[in-house]
Chains A and B, each alone.
Chain A
Amino acid sequence: MATKILERKPLTLAERTYLPQIAAGLWVTFRKMFGRRVTLEYPEQKPPIPRGYRGVPTLVKDPNGREKCVSCQLCEFVCPPKAIRITPGEIPADSATAHVEKAPKDFELNMLRCIYCGLCEEACPERAIVLQNVYSLNAATREEVVLHKDKLYELGGTLPDKIMKWDKKKAAADKAAGGHH
């Protein structure tokens, strides 16, 4: 590769004293001291989170408190860095949500791996995993940032669900059981 050697211009006298530069720098500092503040007193103050922000993926419940995830493992499949590991399980037949049949026994989300891409949320057919506004995860050990089901639901909370497809399904089944088919 051809190399081009640039000539360095010799410094002028003013530059060699550094004084004009120091004065200019102090002027900027001085000006900002009385201007509008652009920083936050984090962590006492928290920034507003814009809509569509991609924070930590969390698991959510529906307004009736039913865990929405059915452990279909699509998020596990789509996750590029393989941060998700699900142990599927069966909902017992005597449970109030027995008609949903399937729910995760464990849901492991390794936040050391997660790249906050949001593909899990996009892949989820149940809208059960949502990247919300949690952006700060701190821990003293690696294990603590491998989030499990209980922690993920704690972070996730309730999602206002307008569709409630499983409730509709149950209503249809109850209706059919009552009437003649």
Chain B
Amino acid sequence: MAENADKLISVFIDGIEVKVLPGTNMIEAARKAGVQIPHYCYHRHLSVAGNCRMCLVEMGTPAFDRVTKAPVMGPDGKQVIQWMPKPVIACATNATPGLHIRTTTKLVKDCREGVEEFLLVNHPLDCPICDQAGECHLQEYAHQYGRGYSRYVEEKNVKPKRKMIGPRVILDNERCILCGRCVRFCKEIAKDEVLGFTERGSHSSIDCFPGKTLSNNYSVNVVDICPVGALTSVDFRFKMRTWFLKETPSISTESSVGVNTTIWSREGTIYRITPRRNEAVNDSWMSDTARDLYKAVAAENRTSAYAIEGRPVKSDEALKALAALLKASKGVALIASAFSSVEEQWLLKKLAQAIPAAKKLVYVAPHYAEGDGLLISADRTPNLRGALVTGLIKGLAQTDMSSLKAAVDAGEVDTVLSVNESVTSAGLGIEDLKKIKYVSLGTHFYQTSQYAAIEIPLLTVFEREGSFVNQQWRLQKFAKAVPGPAGVLADADFFAALLAAMGSPATRGGGLAAVWAALSAEVAPLKDQSYAKIPAEGVVIDGSAFANEKFREGKTLHYAPANA
């Protein structure tokens, strides 16, 4: 925020000076000073409700003389700080010049302990069967500010448990601390007012409005933001305790929004996908449909073996056969994919160049559907812009595959390579496939895969690493969360090996580092980039060369089409 540097003001957290913009929330200001203020209801991407009272702190402002408005100086030569007699909530306190807060005093400690004790009064204490255990704020703060035993001898409230409030979300009302985050999410982000409070006092509960269910495509976000285990996910319910899970940063392939995600896996099995915060792309949210994508890894139609004419072979045999086929072909059509990473697309471009055939057609199959205006765009591929940047295709005209059928009919093309695409979408029927040599590279079987001369299994986004360029021309990387099927090469490794077998060693050595070394030297917008260098929040590259292309995306969160 360099442009705002002159507007910064000083606030003091436990005497530590931090410079923040005026109006900054004091929880965020404290975070900047390395001081954690416990909180439940505050969420940086929702409005401030101030109802949990966990964030109470002492606040003071510099004193000014009432009449002369001159600063009142103390004997030590510093301006006197007037401390408020009562604590205030940090989440609803905004930074003003010279604001002081104290978070370590006895008063603040007593406040936190008192709030925590009240929150636990009616809590069912069923952590052993609660999916939130291990990532529960109530547990964490109970550990820090809890009493360790209960003074409550009265009967606890009983509320409905195991209540389906939507197809993907279960509510346990006894665990709810009434922070209202879920209510605010539905209203402010999902724009689908479903949840509200009913009853009063300690009987107050969260519930759906009569006749409504929490069924919008962003419903599982309430599970993520619920600070306790009141809202849990049906899909993840009782699957695995969170402390066993390894977190891997990834990018959702659902659409060109490029939602940042975290993959949670244990010993090679993925258990869930959650959003990873990126304030320039998806804030803290993701769609429910994108959370299900991990199921593709173990899908029934998953490919795991190389095959020539249906006969299983080792990878190097398939590689040799494919190289020989490509060298001998008269005309080759490559149906590349916008699901491939930047690295893979660049390697495919090199492959297309290395094919000696007279007629060469290169397409990238389009996948368009209606966007939802939030985190799913109209382009349902993660990396169409990568295909442009790497030069795999010259323009979006090459997403029109209508010329392929004619070329096949005319006998100009005798080999068709498709990467993660079904050829039926390119207008080829089974009769056409029988006329030509069809090479199917893919993570899954398609109806047409059985007609393939050579089948090459590929890896899903969870099993390989690479980068995508999203609709904002933001280059973002994903890491490998789980190993792929035994013996299957990563897409980029296979393409690089194929290139070498074709006699065009475009990359030397192995891995993405080698690909990037050659790629960044050749592709201007990716100059000086490398897989290792891409920061966690991604980096915007220069896409101005394609300003005239007609991209289909409409407005989504943090994105508005340039030509709108």
**A interface with B by C-beta (< 8 Å):** 70-74, 76-77, 88-90, 93, 98-102, 125-126, 169, 172-173, 175-177, 181
Given A88, A126, A172, which contacts B238 in the complex, CB threshold below 8 Å?
A: A88
Which chain A residues lie closer than 8 Å to B157 at the CB level?
176, 181
Query: Contact between A73 and B244 (Cβ–Cβ < 8 Å)?
Result: yes
Query: Contact between A70 and B244 (Cβ–Cβ < 8 Å)?
Result: no
Query: Contact between A172 and B241 (Cβ–Cβ < 8 Å)?
Result: no
What are 7 A-B contacts defined by CB distance under 8 Å? A89-B238, A93-B162, A100-B129, A101-B129, A172-B155, A173-B158, A181-B158
Residue of B203, B240, B241 ringed by the most chain A CB atoms within 10 A: B241
Which chain A residues lie closer than 8 Å to B155 at the CB level?
172
Q: Looking across the interface, which residue of chain B has its beta carbon closest to that of A71?
A: B238
Q: Looking at the assembled complex, report how far the CB atom of A40 sits from the nearest CB atom of chain B, in whole angstroms.
A: 41
**Given known contacts A77-B244, A172-B156, A72 and B129 CB-to-CB distance under 8 angstroms:** yes
Query: Contact between B128 and A70 (Cβ–Cβ < 8 Å)?
Result: yes
Q: Looking across the interface, which residue of chain B has its beta carbon closest to that of A104?
A: B238
Which chain B residues lie closer than 8 Å to A100 at the CB level?
129
**Given known contacts A74-B128, A172-B156, A173-B158, A88 and B203 CB-to-CB distance under 8 angstroms:** no
**Given known contacts A72-B241, A88-B240, A181 and B156 CB-to-CB distance under 8 angstroms:** no
Which chain B residues lie closer than 8 Å to A172 at the CB level?
155-156, 158
Which chain B residues lie closer than 8 Å to A99 at the CB level?
161
Interfacial residues of chain B within 228-268, with CB under 8 A of chain A in the complex: 237-241, 243-244
Query: Contact between A70 and B158 (Cβ–Cβ < 8 Å)?
Result: no
Q: Looking across the interface, which residue of chain B has its beta carbon closest to that of A105?
A: B238
Interfacial residues of chain B within 159-206, with CB under 8 A of chain A in the complex: 161-162, 203
**B interface with A by C-beta (< 8 Å):** 124, 127-129, 133, 155-158, 161-162, 203, 237-241, 243-244
Report the separation of the CA atoms of residues A89 and B238 in the bound assembly, to the nearest whole angstrom: 6
Which chain A residues lie closer than 8 Å to B158 at the CB level?
172-173, 175-177, 181
Which chain A residues lie closer than 8 Å to B240 at the CB level?
73, 88
Q: Looking at the assembled complex, report how far the CB atom of A46 sits from the nearest CB atom of chain B, in whole angstroms.
A: 35
Given A76, A88, A177, which contacts B239 in the complex, CB threshold below 8 Å?
A: A88
Known: A169-B124, A172-B155. 7 other contacts (CB 8 A): A72-B127, A72-B128, A73-B240, A74-B128, A76-B244, A99-B161, A101-B129
Given A73, A90, A125, A169, which contacts B237 in the complex, CB threshold below 8 Å?
A: A90
Report the separation of the CA atoms of residues A84 and B124 in the bound assembly, to the nearest whole angstrom: 28
Which chain A residues lie closer than 8 Å to B237 at the CB level?
90
Report the separation of the CA atoms of residues A31 and B237 in the bound assembly, to the nearest whole angstrom: 69
Which chain A residues lie closer than 8 Å to B241 at the CB level?
72-73, 77, 88
Report the separation of the CA atoms of residues A170 and B133 in the bound assembly, to the nearest whole angstrom: 22
Query: Contact between B128 and A101 (Cβ–Cβ < 8 Å)?
Result: no
Query: Contact between A126 and B156 (Cβ–Cβ < 8 Å)?
Result: no
Which chain A residues lie closer than 8 Å to B133 at the CB level?
72
Query: Contact between B129 and A70 (Cβ–Cβ < 8 Å)?
Result: yes
Report the separation of the CA atoms of residues A99 and B127 in the bound assembly, to the nearest whole angstrom: 14
**Given known contacts A93-B162, A173-B158, A102 and B244 CB-to-CB distance under 8 angstroms:** no
Report the separation of the CA atoms of residues A93 and B164 in the bound assembly, to the nearest whole angstrom: 12
Which chain B residues lie closer than 8 Å to A77 at the CB level?
241, 243-244
Which chain B residues lie closer than 8 Å to A70 at the CB level?
128-129
Q: Looking at the assembled complex, report how far the CB atom of B272 sits from the nearest CB atom of chain A, in whole angstroms.
A: 14
Which chain B residues lie closer than 8 Å to A90 at the CB level?
237-238
Residue of A100, A176, A177 ringed by the most chain B CB atoms within 10 A: A176
Report the separation of the CA atoms of residues A88 and B133 in the bound assembly, to the nearest whole angstrom: 14
Q: Looking at the assembled complex, report how far the CB atom of A95 sits from the nearest CB atom of chain B, in whole angstroms.
A: 12
Which chain A residues lie closer than 8 Å to B238 at the CB level?
71, 88-90, 101-102
Q: Looking across the interface, which residue of chain A has its beta carbon closest to that of B128?
A: A72
Which chain B residues lie closer than 8 Å to A98 at the CB level?
162
Given B161, B203, B244, which contacts A181 in the complex, CB threshold below 8 Å?
A: B203
Q: Looking at the assembled complex, report how far the CB atom of B244 sits from the nearest CB atom of chain A, in whole angstroms.
A: 7
Report the separation of the CA atoms of residues A74 and B128 in the bound assembly, to the nearest whole angstrom: 8
Report the separation of the CA atoms of residues A5 and B128 in the bound assembly, to the nearest whole angstrom: 64
Q: Looking across the interface, which residue of chain A has its beta carbon closest to that of B203?
A: A181
Q: Looking across the interface, which residue of chain A has its beta carbon closest to that of B199?
A: A181
Which chain A residues lie closer than 8 Å to B244 at the CB level?
73, 76-77
Report the separation of the CA atoms of residues A156 and B243 in the bound assembly, to the nearest whole angstrom: 28
